[in-house]
Each structure stands twice: as C-alpha cells, then as structure tokens.
Amino acid sequence: MIFAEKITILRKKNGWSQEELANQIHVSRQSVSKWESAQAVPDLEKILLLSQIYGVSTDYLLKDSLNEEEPISAQEEVPSYRTVSLEEANDYLAVKAKAARSIALAVMLCIISPISLILLSALQEAQVLKISENMAAGIGLCVLILLVACAVAIFILTGEKTKQYDWLEKESFETAYGVDGMVRERKKSISDSHTYGLIAGITLCILSVLPIFAALLLGENDVLMICAVCLLLAIVSIGVMVIIRSDMPWAAMKCLLQEEDYTAAEKKKNAHLDKVASAYWCVIVAGFLAYSFLTNDWKRSWIIFAVGGVFYGAVAALDQAFFHHEGN
C-alpha cells in the first residue's frame, strides 16, 4: 500500500473525519484531502505527528512494501513543541496589528527622507533658492538624518515589543484547542480588506512613475524633473505604507496557522536568507555613503538604493535556489 492509502485506512479505523484529523495536526482539511488522494505529501514534521497520533512507525507509513502495521518504537524521536494558548494567540495578533502601523510609518519615513536633500540641491542649483550649495546640502542632510533616526527608533521600539513572539516565526509549535478556528475566522473576516489594501498599495507604486512622464512631456526642465522624482518617492512611500499595514496582520495569521512562508521548511530557508540580507544591505549602505561623500552627488546617489532593491530580488532567488540544492 502507498502512503495515501495507509493514512486513509488509519483515519477511518480511528473514526475521524478529515476535519477532525486536520485539527489535531494543525493543517487544513484540504491538506489532509490532498494527502489521502496522493496529490501531495506532508513534510517530515507532519509525518512524525501522524506516526505519533496513529501509534505506528514512520517506516510503516513511508515504505510501500510494508503492509502490516508496525507499532511506534521507543527509539523513534517525536519532537516536542511549545504550545500557543488562545490568550497568547490573541495577544500576538494584537501586538502585530499595532506593530504594522509603526513599521509602516518608519518605512515611509525612510523612503521620503532624501526628498529634502534632492529638492533643496536642485532648487539651489537652479538659483530658485538664494542659499549656498553647502547650506542646501547641510539642511537636506539634517532632515534626512533626522527622519532616518526617527525611523530607526521606531524600528527598535517596535522590535522590543514584538521580541517575545519572535520564536513563532522561527520555530515549529503546536496550538491549543480553539486557536486554529479563531485564527481562520479572523483571517476570513479581513480577507477583503487585505486584498483591497494590497491592490491600493501596489497601484500607487505603479502610478508613482506618472509624475516623471508628466515632467518629460512638459519639456526639459531640471527643477521640474527633480520635483517629479520627489513626488514619485512620496507616492511610493504611501503605497508601501498601505501594503505593510494590510499585509503584516495577515502574515501574523499565516504564522499561527503555519501556512505558506511559515511552514517548518520555509522557516529554515528564511533564517538563511535573513543572514544574506543583513550582509547585502550593509554593503549597499556602505556603497551609498562612500559614493555620496566622495562625489558629493547626494541628489543622484539615492539611485543606489533603487538599484540595490532590484538586485536584491535576484540575490534572494539565487540564495533560495542554492539553499534548496544544498538541502537536497
């Protein structure tokens, strides 16, 4: 017998429905249905749980040649996980919802931080503002540093508030009775607002290039083009803020359900990618500061972050491909 047939027989032997089994191992009924119809195979963590629940060995479940039930042996190690209570789950969702607003604001501040520097430098160069180049750069840098400092402070404060729940995003865990149902109900209730938030945020990011095209249509005017770039950054900052506020609470619910990016396998991949991202962005920031201070070309050096963001997608994809290959 194949794996799918064995787990179907064992479930029926215990008198459980697919929904009842799904609740015991913290997955959806659809997942159980796919396993039993041989459309998918559970990960090792779930196979160990099935072995424990049914009281049979993993060899019996996985080896098609074994048709007789083998009791679980004392040597088979079944992992022991921390359990998330209903109260902890509610508190986690509340903390994440509040953190979403703070993180969204901090990211917005980071995106708009170079606007004053870019705008003042352009206005001074065009002699619209009767100030020296050093004064324009100095004021712009002061505003940039102030906004970034505020953003960093918000990141740190928010990180301290959510620190107690960091393990949920890094480790496997079990949930107490009622948690899974509560989270699924809340996820269903915000499904529409989450979708509309993503649509609005992504639309704003796409439309942010319109000021650039408008400036090009109105003629070759450096000041107008710089104003268009500043407007682009402002619109992008709003779009990203909307996306973060919509997606962070949704991600928290997926984390509690251990779905998509929060399965045991994905958590392992993400832990590796976090290390790569930390090193990558340190290099990008160092490159930005080195180029800007050496050339004093602050009004254009911000492009380094835009290019770095695009290249990060490629770096992340390569890292995931390499990590997956190494894992195999």
Per-residue pLDDT reduced to its tens digit, 226-254: 899 899 999 999 999 999 999 999 999 99
Q: What domain range includes position 250?
A: 86-262
Question: Which of 42-46, 84-88, 236-240, 263-267 has the largest mean confidence?
Answer: 236-240
Q: Are residues 103 and 225 in the same domain?
A: yes
State the Cα–Cα distance between residues 66 and 61, nearest whole angstrom: 8
CB-CB contact of 81 with 174 (8 Å) = yes
296 within some domain = yes
**Does residue 134 have a pLDDT over 90?**
no
Q: Are residues 211 and 292 in the same domain?
A: no
**Does residue 81 have a pLDDT over 60?**
yes
CB-CB contact of 72 with 51 (8 Å) = yes
Q: Are residues 177 and 270 in the same domain?
A: no
Per-residue pLDDT reduced to its tens digit, 196-205: 999 999 999 9
Q: What is the pLDDT of residue 70?
A: 54
The residue among 236, 262, 288 that closes a domain is 262
Q: Look over the chain and give the mean of its residue pLDDT values, rounded to a whole number.
A: 84
Q: What is the pLDDT of residue 74?
A: 44
The residue among 225, 243, 262 that closes a domain is 262
Q: What is the pLDDT of residue 246?
A: 94
Q: Are residues 100 and 201 in the same domain?
A: yes
* Domain total of the chain: 3
Residue range 159-185: average pLDDT? 86
Q: Are residues 184 and 327 in the same domain?
A: no
pTM above threshold 0.75: no
Per-residue pLDDT reduced to its tens digit, 97-121: 999 999 999 999 999 998 998 888 8
CATH of the domain at 56: 1.10.260.40
Q: Are residues 10 and 122 in the same domain?
A: no
State the Cα–Cα distance between residues 271 and 265, nearest whole angstrom: 10
Which residues partner with 173 through β-bridges?
A: 82
Q: Are residues 246 and 281 in the same domain?
A: no
Per-residue pLDDT reduced to its tens digit, 283-309: 888 888 888 888 877 667 878 877 887
